[in-house]
Amino acid sequence: MNGPSPSARGSRVTISEVAEAAGVSKASVSRYIGGDRQLLADATALRIEQAIERLDYRPNQMARGLKRGRTRLIGMLVADILNPYSVAVMHGVETACRQHGYSLVVCNTDRSTEQESQHLAALRSYNVEGLIVNTLGHHAGELQSLHDELPMVLVDRKVEALEADLVGLDNRDAVRQALDHLQQRGYRDLLLVSEPLDGTSSRQERVTAFTGEIARRPLLQGQVLQTGETFREALQAFLVAPGPGPKALFAANGMAALAATQQLREFGCRLFEEIGLIALDDLDWYPLVGSGITALAQPTAEIGTTAFECLLERLRGDREPARHFDFKAQLIIRGSTHPRG
């Protein structure tokens, strides 16, 4: 008569208990669950299978992976898990991980340098096989130390002195598309709204591209404004100041678009009759605001998938120099940039 299963007793079944129940050695059970069943006699394998089923035994995959030097874990470090871009890219990474038999461990730094350092230490202790980084990169030395131990791919943001694959957006092309569109639609007085640069390379690239494009376009006037404590007053000053023609905002990402839209509503602006708006990223709420917000959509799923595929190639031994993958944004025209006279 069989007694209560170990799971019913509230304890985890061990490999020793499986071996005892099957009347075999622990080594035989290890071979069975490790995929070497062909080394066992059919009768032995059958007894082990029956014991595993009867005891409801679940192998500790982490322990098995550590013994072999393989955990099938990929780490991902993100700066802000509330940022829709980060979530969308993370979904692409996780989908690709799952398709190749890996699990994703996500750590959110919440834009804190202290949290970033702690998470890097934690990911090292988890024995992740590779790391995908979309964060501030303020701990370049720690990242480099980790990169010396395992493959690493950067998403969206460069880290100075770190020779790693980088996957992200072609920011110069995205800015060029935005200004081409605004100029063709008759807008002349432009304001780029960005989150604080904070050493983030992609934000800096967009600002640099914007100021460069404005300098090359005599019909346009442009300035840059960062969100923060003085954002409200500075935006209001832009709206009332005289200019060379119709005004438009260019939000450098989804968070900047949200800040700008909220402020325009607070000012009582008729969206988007009085001022145009184009935004990088294409978020679910863009079509719901006024007549819809014109967007430059990033291929976030493709960015996430490519980041994992780069990492997988490195895990398989690719030692080529670091590569950059710059994806093009897709212009999606809505009512926020309707033609001006």
Name residue 190's beta-bridge partners: 222, 248
Q: Are 178 and 288 in a shared domain?
A: yes
Q: 67 to each of 35, 62, 252, how far by Cα in Å?
A: 14, 9, 47
Q: Are 158 and 198 in a shared domain?
A: no
Q: Are 53 and 147 in a shared domain?
A: no
- Does the pLDDT at position 271 exceed 90? no
Q: Are 182 and 285 in a shared domain?
A: yes
Q: What is the pLDDT of residue 7?
A: 44
Percent of the chain with pLDDT over 90: 70
CATH of the domain at 34: 1.10.260.40
Given a contact cutoff of 8 angstroms between Cβ atoms, the answer to whether 47 and 22 are in contact is yes
Q: Are 269 and 319 in a shared domain?
A: no
Average pLDDT, the chain: 90
Q: How confident is the model at residue 69 (pLDDT cuts 50, 70, 90)?
A: low
Q: What is the pLDDT of residue 60?
A: 62
* Structural domain for 321, as ranges: 71-169+300-327
The DSSP output letter for 284 is T
Q: What is the pLDDT of residue 11?
A: 66
Per-residue pLDDT reduced to its tens digit, 279-301: 999 999 999 999 999 999 999 99
Q: Which of 301, 200, 212 is nearest to 255 (CA)?
A: 200
- Does the pLDDT at position 68 exceed 70? no
Q: What is the pLDDT of residue 8?
A: 46
Q: 173 to each of 165, 179, 206, 286, how far by Cα in Å?
A: 20, 10, 10, 21
What whole-number distance in Å separates Cα of residue 78 and Cα of residue 134?
Answer: 5
Q: E strands, the chain, where?
A: 73-78, 103-108, 130-134, 152-155, 165-169, 189-194, 221-226, 247-251, 276-280, 294-297, 324-327, 330-332
Domain count, the chain: 3
Q: How confident is the model at residue 65 (pLDDT cuts 50, 70, 90)?
A: low
How many residues are given for the chain? 341
**Average confidence (pLDDT) over 159-166:** 89
Q: How confident is the model at residue 160 (pLDDT cuts 50, 70, 90)?
A: confident
Q: How confident is the model at residue 9 (pLDDT cuts 50, 70, 90)?
A: very low
Per-residue pLDDT reduced to its tens digit, 10-52: 467 888 999 999 999 988 988 887 666 778 899 998 999 899 8
Q: Are 316 and 247 in a shared domain?
A: no
Q: Are 205 and 288 in a shared domain?
A: yes
**Average confidence (pLDDT) over 128-138:** 88
Residue 133 within any structural domain of the chain: yes
Q: Are 199 and 293 in a shared domain?
A: yes
Residue 99 within any structural domain of the chain: yes
Per-residue pLDDT reduced to its tens digit, 93-130: 999 999 998 999 999 998 888 898 899 889 888 889 99
Residue 177 within any structural domain of the chain: yes
What whole-number distance in Å separates Cα of residue 171 and Cα of residue 250?
Answer: 13
Q: Are 248 and 308 in a shared domain?
A: no
Q: Are 177 and 262 in a shared domain?
A: yes
Got the DSSP string for 216-243? T-TT-EEEEEE-STTHHHHHHHHHHS--
Residue 335 within any structural domain of the chain: no
Q: Are 290 and 181 in a shared domain?
A: yes
Q: Are 132 and 184 in a shared domain?
A: no
Residue 286 within any structural domain of the chain: yes
